[in-house]
Amino acid sequence: MRKYFLLICLFILGCESQYRTAGKVYIQQEEYDKAAEQFNLQLKQTPNDPDAWWWLGMAYTYQKKYEDACQCMDKVAEIAPEKQELKKQIPFLWSLYYSAGISAYQEKSWELAKNRFTQATRLEPDSFQTYMNLGLVYVCLEQEDTAIVYYKKVIELDTNNIDAYRNLGIYYMKKKEYDEAQKYFNKVLGLKPKDADILYRIGIAYYLKEDYPNAEASFKRAIECDSTLEDAYFNLGATLVKQNKYDESIEVLKKTIEIKPNDVEALLHLGGTYLLTKKYDAAIEIYTKIIQLDPAKREAYEGRANAYWKLGKKAEAEADLRIVKEMK
């Protein structure tokens, strides 16, 4: 009986090369480096062996060397396009090409990431995750019109995908198509009504359309959802100024500075609002703080000079104006 068993083993080993056999054994033992070495030795002898390429790809996959694994699977498809594993292992292959795309994206290899994600879509055409990542890649390639196509494909497959709606809104904002941007931002709100970031972005769209009352309402709703959203306070302050609501704007801008004390742009807006309301001493205090933070901020010297001049302090105003002139 033992002799018979030995003959069977010898027969099996004889049907398959020693390198390929050893490689499979190493895979079973989870020694993937050694497995890859054996399959590479096999390929030196038989470079067009699709099985060796397949198993080498498996060894690389276990090592999380996804790009190397993809190159092996590409070789299998080139040599033996009818190989059964290529048809039976679709979920595995999709996962492999998708993972290679993620790795390439993380390494900022945009073209490679695009190619791997594209291959993944051919394997699993209904995978919204793959289209989402293709959209991100095309953004990085500065091909935003193509990115929009893929984000819309995501929505076709997953009508509740908040990230796709958000990204579409953002890219339409860049294209200055504010109504279209708001359409997608409102889709987000339908799924997540208290999304402070989206409420803020809707406010920006209204502001850029010069619809200041609706911008004001949107910024206030954003602040209700997130009282630490400094940009919402800042833009609310600017919106209130546009509506001549100066006193309210001052209080809002103070809140902005409370959240971020060294925000020079917010301080500049506050100083300018103090000038508009003829609160010159307060304006001087703010502009002086800006100069302490950024001695090269020309607008601060100009604003302070204006405030000094209104108070009749001509010497101080002229001193600041000389500094402005030297900066030019």
Domains and CATH numbers, the chain: 16-88 (1.25.40.10), 177-261 (1.25.40.10), 263-328 (1.25.40.10)
Q: What is the average pLDDT across 202-219?
A: 98
Band the pLDDT of 184: cuts 50, 70, 90: very high
Band the pLDDT of 1: cuts 50, 70, 90: very low
Rounded-to-integer distance, Cα 283 and Cα 262, Å: 16
Q: Decide if 60 contacts 86 (C-beta within 8 A).
A: no
pLDDT for the residue 83 = 81
Cβ-Cβ contacts under 8 Å for 7 (sequence gap 6 or more): none
Q: Please, is 313 exposed, middle or buried when counting C-beta atoms within 10 Å of its C-beta (0-12, 13-18, 19+)?
A: middle
Look at phi and psi of residue 35 and say left if phi exceeds 0, alpha if psi is from -120 to 50, else beta: alpha
pLDDT for the residue 286 = 97
Q: What is the average pLDDT across 120-134?
A: 96
Percent of the chain exceeding pLDDT 70 equals 95
Place of tokens 């504010």: 178
pLDDT for the residue 16 = 57
Band the pLDDT of 82: cuts 50, 70, 90: confident
Q: What is the average pLDDT across 115-122?
A: 97
Rounded-to-integer distance, Cα 274 and Cα 267, Å: 10
The answer to whether the predicted template modeling score (pTM) of the entire model surpasses 0.85 is no
Rounded-to-integer distance, Cα 267 and Cα 300, Å: 9
Residue 256 three-state SS: helix
Sign for the CA dihedral angle at 134, 127, 102, 96 comes to negative
pLDDT for the residue 177 = 96
In 3D space, the residue among 131, 136, 102 whose CA is nearest the CA of residue 118 turns out to be 131
**Distance, C-alpha 113 to centroid of its chain:** 15
Say whether pLDDT at 94 is over 80.
yes
Q: What is the average pLDDT across 309-313?
A: 96
Rounded-to-integer distance, Cα 83 and Cα 77, Å: 8
Higher pLDDT, 3 or 257: 257
